[in-house]
Copies of this chain bind each other. A is one copy, B any other.
Amino acid sequence: MAPSTPYLAVDLERMQANIARAAEAATARGIALRPHAKTHKTIEIGRMQVAAGAHGLTVATIGEAEVFAAAGLDDLFIAFPLWIDGERAARLSHLVAAGAAISIGVDSVEGAERMARAGLAGRVAARVEVDVGHHRSGCAPERAGEVALAAARAGIDVEGVFAFPGHAYAPDARAVAARHEASGLGVAAEAMRAAGIHPGVVSGGSTPSFEAALETDSPITELRPGVSVFGDAQQWELGTIPPTAIALTAHATVVSHAGGRMVLDAGSKVLGPDRAAWASGHGRLLDDPDARIVQLSEHHAVVELPGELPPLGSRVRVVPNHVCMAVNLVDDLHVFDRGDDELPSTRWRVAARGRND
């Protein structure tokens, strides 16, 4: 029997094709792939990415690192400027003692010195985070040498530099964000060299900027796309991933025709409430590109669509706007060998769900 709706369904055939496509594109350009596992938080998928050639995984938190390392996926970059208190130092040291190779982000002299004072020198490596236009964390690229030098002087192994061009998440912004990423990382790498530190890894990120980053002549040696393993409605609408490659949907039931519209039992508690200003709605219907989710509550999606409404009780496949948020809302992913299969072949646990700390 199919599970009760709503639930998240993975189309295995499509997901495997997405993993292979990213690996092949990076390999063809001689760039290492370190996929961001925050998107799937799932051991089985991390293993497939590494088997396809990924050079380790990226994670966002120590908690995620603990989950993947425990499963043997222990070459990990925590792409976040962690503030190292006693408990975090102990947890990172424990991971390293168990054999994991861990590097973390650092974007300030204070952060670098803190790492060393907490006893991480010789254990955990650092990568300097620089801001290439998203304006979140990260020092200015020209300050990368100063931060790297502080870390090195404190005895920390500085592996390189990284950035997240999150401003690629906007219409027509992918190519320009990839150019900002390349030039910002170039400035940062040069600043590190001027400070006498070799930027062994020059790491960029993001699914929307991925293809442009591969095409751009740039100093990048590694890329960290996350969403591309599944795709989502944001990438569909940005033009990054066509609907035919989207590998994760929420299966939902039509519960009401109130107001002449279709109401589904999948709301923001399974799709995630993300809606960028440029999005056409609160998610898309995989099998009806003309439908629009015009209203989303915690357990309802209200859909307007041309033509006749599907009957009450029918099931539809909803593409979440932002797949990273949807996956983090469920305990399990239901895996269908192909998207049109009637029953799932297995279930995967979202092992790192909720590991924010």
A-side residues, CB < 8 A to B, are 1, 3-7, 38, 60-62, 80-83, 85, 87-88, 107-108, 110-111, 114, 131, 135-139, 166, 253-259, 263, 265-270, 272-274, 295, 297-300, 302, 312-313, 322, 324-325, 328-331, 354, 356-357
Contacts and interface: CB of A to CB of B under 8 A. Distances in A.
User: Do most interface residues of chain A lie in helix, strand or loop, or is the interface mixed?
Assistant: loop
Return the 6 tightest CB-CB contacts between A and B, nearest first: A4-B357, A137-B256, A83-B255, A273-B274, A270-B356, A137-B258
Contacts of A253: 83, 85
Given A4-B357, A7-B357, A256-B81, A298 B324 contact: yes
Nearest to A61: B299
A220 to B, nearest CB: 21
A166 B356 contact: no
Contact of A258 (B87, B107, B267): B107
Query: Which of A3, A60, A258, A302 gathers the greatest number of chain B CB atoms within 10 Å?
Result: A258
Given A1-B87, A270-B356, A81 B136 contact: no
Copies of this polypeptide in the complex: 2
Given A81-B256, A269-B354, 16 more contacts: A4-B62, A38-B298, A60-B298, A80-B255, A83-B312, A83-B313, A85-B253, A108-B312, A114-B313, A135-B302, A136-B295, A137-B255, A138-B256, A269-B325, A298-B325, A329-B354
Given A354-B329, A357-B6, A108 B257 contact: yes
Contact of A107 (B111, B256, B274, B299): B256
Contact of A4 (B38, B88, B131, B138): B88
Contacts of A322: 273
A258 B139 contact: yes
A241 to B, nearest CB: 19
A134 to B, nearest CB: 9
Contacts of A257: 108
Given A38-B298, A268-B325, A329-B354, A258 B138 contact: yes
Given A166-B297, A354-B330, A357-B3, A131 B259 contact: yes
B255 A81 contact: yes
Contacts of A135: 258-259, 295, 302
A312 B263 contact: no
Contacts of A297: 136, 166
Given A108-B312, A255-B83, A357-B6, A136 B273 contact: no
Given A312-B83, A325-B269, A256 B108 contact: yes
B295 A254 contact: no
Query: Which of A114, A137, A322 gathers the greatest number of chain B CB atoms within 10 Å?
Result: A137
Contacts of A273: 272-274, 322, 325
Contact of A356 (B6, B38, B258): B6
A131 B302 CA distance: 13
Contacts of A268: 274, 325
A131 B83 CA distance: 49
